[in-house]
Amino acid sequence: MKKHTHSDVVTSYQAYKSRVARETIPCYEPSIGKEELRLVTDVIQRNWLSENKYTREFENRLAKICSRKYSVAFANATAALISGMKALGIKGGDEIIVPSFSHSADPNSISNSGAIPVFADVDPASLCLTRQTIEKVITKKTKAILYVCAYGNVSDLEHIVAYAKSKKLFLINDCAPALFGNYKQKPIPSYGDFSVLSFFADKTITTGEGGMLLSNNLALINKVNTYKHDGRKERGVDLIEYKGYNFRITELQTAVGVAQLKKAPYFVKRKKEILRYYQKKLTDIKNVRVFSFNPDGAIVPHRVVIFVPNAKKLMAYLTSLGIGVRSMFMPMHSMPAYKIKGDFPNTQEIYKTGVCLPSAPSLTDKNIEFVCQSIKEFYEPR
């Protein structure tokens, strides 16, 4: 096999960037402006760039929004997952059940906390784990279930929480893209022993990169905080209690986060409107099914997802028109880092047939019309 050099990596990133630059309708883009600039300027004028008052404000406000007692900001959701697992006492040889249909952050954080990711299939109706898919892979070594709110969706979460409790397992809720989503009248991030959020640039609110861990368990939060701060309680304390990490976010980022919170109601409303608009426009195309988020929840769609006979072919056509589309999560069990043999038919089918359509709040109705018209032309040429 050809050796991958650093210049190959740079070239493929440049190719990716120029492909994205050709997208006249982006798959996603953040909406940042004057308020973000004002608060970032305030941070610069204060001359304290590491975590400070905006970070505490961002944490406190998110704990309230998510009906959680405590929250800790992180550099990203992956760092929050690793720290949370370490704080739960997850160790070498422990198994954690994780959907193969997930972000690489999920199996990677399990592996990097020393445990073994045990892959399970998902339900195609929800894109999430079910009790049945969990029961297929549970063993005596299972210590936790990592539930992934794929594309912001959930299903049976309350039953899975109860099931984990009955088996004395931890329930970790990766609701990275599910902020502001509710399920059974409760915020989605309020479920689980702990939950994590991401504020990457494609999330409902963004800090560029960023994450948050939320929990009601103070002992867990204290440990999480220590792992985040290099193994010490806080900056200014020299005693290293754990072999920790520097997983801190910066004040510049959380100032952006605080500014984004003001606009969040609009982002949520617009994302739901965009989904409804696509549903209306795509309903008559025989080969297209718009993914339905769980009606038992007030879900905020992370992306508008459609299922078609061959995702690759449709994506190539839409890309050629400058429409920013993305594939769904690639099955994690078959990645070179994991290479697990097993039967994950739903995960594989979702990857082959699912397409993420442009869904940023900045999208205009005209943009959506064009995307839908292009899909119609692909399947029903005149």
Ligand X SMILES: Cc1ncc(COP(=O)(O)O)c(C=O)c1O
Q: Could you list the residues that contact ligand X (CB under 6 A)? A: 76-78, 103, 105-106, 148, 174, 176-177, 198, 200, 211
Considering the complex, what minimum distance in angstroms separates the CB of residue 375 from ligand X? 24
Considering the complex, what minimum distance in angstroms separates the CB of residue 323 from ligand X? 21
Q: Which amino acid is at 265?
A: P
Nearer to ligand X by Cβ, of 207 and 225: the residue is 207
Helix (H), strand (E), coil (C) string for the chain: CCCCCHHHHHHHHHHHHHHHHCCCECCCCCCCCHHHHHHHHHHHHHCCCECCHHHHHHHHHHHHHCCCCEEEEECCHHHHHHHHHHHHCCCCCCEEEEECCCCCHHHHHHHHCCCEEEEECCECCCCECCHHHHHCCCCCCEEEEEEECHHHCCCCHHHHHHHHHHCCCEEEEECCCCCCCEECCEEHHHCCCEEEEECECCCCCCCECCEEEEECCHHHHHHHHHHHECCCCCCCCCCCCCCCCECCCEHHHHHHHHHHHHHHHHHHHHHHHHHHHHHHHHCCCCCCEECCCCCCEECCCCCEEEECCCHHHHHHHHHHCCECCEECCCCHHHCCCCCCCCCCHHHHHHHHHEEEECCCCCCCHHHHHHHHHHHHHHHCCC
User: How far apart, in whole angstroms, are the C-alpha atoms of residue 345 and residue 333?
Assistant: 12
Considering the complex, what minimum distance in angstroms separates the CB of residue 379 from ligand X? 29
Nearer to ligand X by Cβ, of 55 and 198: the residue is 198
Nearer to ligand X by Cβ, of 211 and 244: the residue is 211
User: How far apart, in whole angstroms, are the C-alpha atoms of residue 278 and residue 38?
Assistant: 35
Considering the complex, what minimum distance in angstroms separates the CB of residue 118 from ligand X? 17
Nearer to ligand X by Cβ, of 74 and 378: the residue is 74
Nearer to ligand X by Cβ, of 51 and 288: the residue is 51
Nearer to ligand X by Cβ, of 105 and 205: the residue is 105
Tally the residues of the chain: 382
Considering the complex, what minimum distance in angstroms separates the CB of residue 7 from ligand X? 25
Nearer to ligand X by Cβ, of 108 and 142: the residue is 108
Nearer to ligand X by Cβ, of 173 and 225: the residue is 173
Considering the complex, what minimum distance in angstroms separates the CB of residue 198 from ligand X? 3
Considering the complex, what minimum distance in angstroms separates the CB of residue 365 from ligand X? 26
User: How far apart, in whole angstroms, are the C-alpha atoms of residue 200 and residue 149?
Assistant: 16
Considering the complex, what minimum distance in angstroms separates the CB of residue 376 from ligand X? 29
User: How far apart, in whole angstroms, are the C-alpha atoms of residue 212 and residue 151?
Assistant: 17
Considering the complex, what minimum distance in angstroms separates the CB of residue 94 from ligand X? 20
Nearer to ligand X by Cβ, of 248 and 281: the residue is 248
